[in-house]
């Protein structure tokens, strides 16, 4: 029964940058000139001589609007020199920041957007030409108003090391998705070491690296190594973000999944319930992450043979996913399969078969025959 249950839950929240239905996926890093080891001391000295500039702004109905997506934006400019390395940051507690840079010919040469969990947009770029550069401060969500702070300065060695940590993080994510956990682990450890050394122990990027390493260990079944990292990530998120935050719910869910995988159901259940309540409170009753929490709790009950408690939750998750994601979505196929497995476990074969068939046809259609 446990083997069946494992395939019903999504993968633990693996963080790189952007949250998509609870699964965190990679965002391409903007143009990064050289790593620290390849940057000449002369260029670095030139970059560090640039005086830092900080400006505050607001994106609202008085701002310009992009024609392609109807989002607010403002333009800021600076004079740059060819070969100069610049770090540009856009921070906000009110916006999903989106930042991009245009060269003197008005061509976009770099972009980045924030990744949730308190992070912000950052570009590190080697300027290609002399001239006036345009920094576009934008909101990632359509017409979302809010205040922001924009700054640019010469790139420092720490900036370059943090960019290297981000590059490693992206590589780890790709390896994780390919199931190459052993190859990914030393890269994840290196990214964590860089971030701890430069950012300190209390930074959300450190939390991301802790969570990633824990997810890799958990995927290998190395639960004793994963558990303290998940616990540390959870405590840091609570401290930095507060008790009621979607990322705290993700950490609760991750730790619950680990306990569930070990068969420690009495420890998993209250964490699943807590994650579900936070998501309902913050995201509302109709959100894909709420459906995921319902599914996870149902799977826990299913694993213990508590079928009468599992069935209504599976049904609720299925109905919610069909409504929110559409009839043809991989998560809908997963929910159909979960409900079929539950009926199968109870010997309700006539109810299970059409659901199995429906899930199979949907997966063939969406994912292909192979």
Residue 30: the pLDDT is: 33
Residue 273: the pLDDT is: 98
Residue 119: the pLDDT is: 57
What's the pLDDT band for 70 if we cut at 50, 70, 90? Answer: confident
Give the global pTM: 0.77
Q: Is the dihedral of CA 140, 366, 246, 205 positive or negative?
A: negative
What's the pLDDT band for 115 if we cut at 50, 70, 90? Answer: low
Residue 370: the pLDDT is: 75
d(CA 159, CA 145): 29
**CA angle, corner 65, sides to 60 and 68, nearest 5?**
140
Q: Is the pLDDT of residue 9 over 60?
A: no
Residue 94: the pLDDT is: 83
Q: Is the pLDDT of residue 110 over 90?
A: yes
Q: Is the pLDDT of residue 11 over 50?
A: no
Q: Is the pLDDT of residue 328 over 80?
A: yes
Q: Is the pLDDT of residue 269 over 60?
A: yes
Q: Is the pLDDT of residue 181 over 80?
A: yes
Domains defined for the chain, CATH in brackets: 2-27+160-367 (1.25.40.10), 36-155 (2.60.120.380)
Residue 49: the pLDDT is: 66
pLDDT digits (tens, 9 = 90+) for 43-52: 444 444 688 9
Q: Is the pLDDT of residue 348 over 90?
A: yes
Which of 8-12, 30-34, 199-203, 332-336 has maximum average pLDDT? 332-336
The mean pLDDT of 117-142, rounded to a whole number, is 86
Contact 206, 187 (CB under 8 A): no
Q: Is the pLDDT of residue 114 over 80?
A: no
Contact 78, 152 (CB under 8 A): yes
The mean pLDDT of 134-145, rounded to a whole number, is 82
Q: Is the pLDDT of residue 306 over 80?
A: yes
What's the pLDDT band for 120 if we cut at 50, 70, 90? Answer: confident
User: How many other β-carbons are positioned within 10 Å of the β-carbon of residue 275?
Assistant: 28
Report the share of the chain in percent with pLDDT over 70: 85
Task: Output the six-digit token pair for 187.
Answer: 């890269």
DSSP 8-state secondary structure symbol assigned to residue 92: -
If phi > 0 it is left, if psi is from -120 to 50 it is alpha, else beta; for residue 103 that is: beta
d(CA 286, CA 284): 6
Residue 95: the pLDDT is: 83
């Amino acid at each position: 029964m446990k083997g069946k249950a494992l395939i019903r839950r999504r993968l633990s929240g693996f963080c790189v940058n952007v949250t998509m239905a609870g699964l965190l996926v990679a965002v391409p890093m903007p143009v990064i000139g050289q790593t620290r080891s390849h940057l000449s001391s002369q260029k670095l000295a030139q970059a560090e001589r640039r005086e830092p500039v900080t400006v505050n702004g607001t994106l609202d109905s008085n701002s310009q609007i992009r024609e392609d997506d109807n989002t607010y934006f403002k333009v800021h400019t600076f004079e740059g020199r060819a070969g100069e390395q610049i770090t540009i940051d856009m921070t906000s507690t009110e916006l999903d920041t989106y930042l991009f840079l245009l060269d003197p010919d008005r061509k976009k040469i770099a972009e980045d957007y924030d990744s949730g969990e308190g992070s912000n947009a950052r570009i590190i770029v080697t300027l290609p030409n002399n001239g006036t550069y345009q920094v576009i401060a934008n909101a990632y969500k359509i017409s979302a108003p809010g205040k922001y702070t924009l700054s640019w300065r010469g790139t420092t060695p720490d900036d370059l090391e943090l960019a290297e940590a981000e590059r490693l993080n992206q590589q780890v994510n790709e390896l994780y998705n390919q199931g190459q956990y052993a190859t990914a682990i030393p890269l994840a450890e290196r990214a964590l070491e860089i971030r701890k050394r430069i950012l300190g122990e209390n930074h959300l990027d450190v939390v991301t690296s802790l969570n990633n390493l824990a997810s890799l260990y958990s995927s290998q079944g190395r639960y004793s190594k994963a558990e303290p990292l998940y616990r540390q990530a959870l405590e840091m998120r609570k401290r930095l973000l507060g008790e009621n935050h979607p990322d705290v719910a993700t950490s609760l869910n991750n730790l619950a999944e680990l306990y569930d995988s070990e068969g420690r159901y009495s420890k998993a259940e209250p964490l699943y319930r807590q994650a579900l309540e936070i998501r309902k409170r913050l995201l509302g009753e109709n959100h894909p992450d709420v459906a995921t929490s319902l599914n996870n709790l149902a799977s826990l009950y299913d694993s213990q043979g508590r079928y009468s408690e599992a069935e209504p939750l599976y049904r609720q998750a299925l109905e919610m996913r069909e409504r929110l994601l559409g009839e043809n979505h991989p998560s809908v196929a997963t929910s159909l399969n979960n409900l079929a497995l539950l009926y199968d476990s109870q010997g309700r074969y006539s109810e299970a078969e059409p659901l199995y068939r429906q899930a199979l046809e949907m997966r063939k259609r969406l994912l292909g025959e192979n």
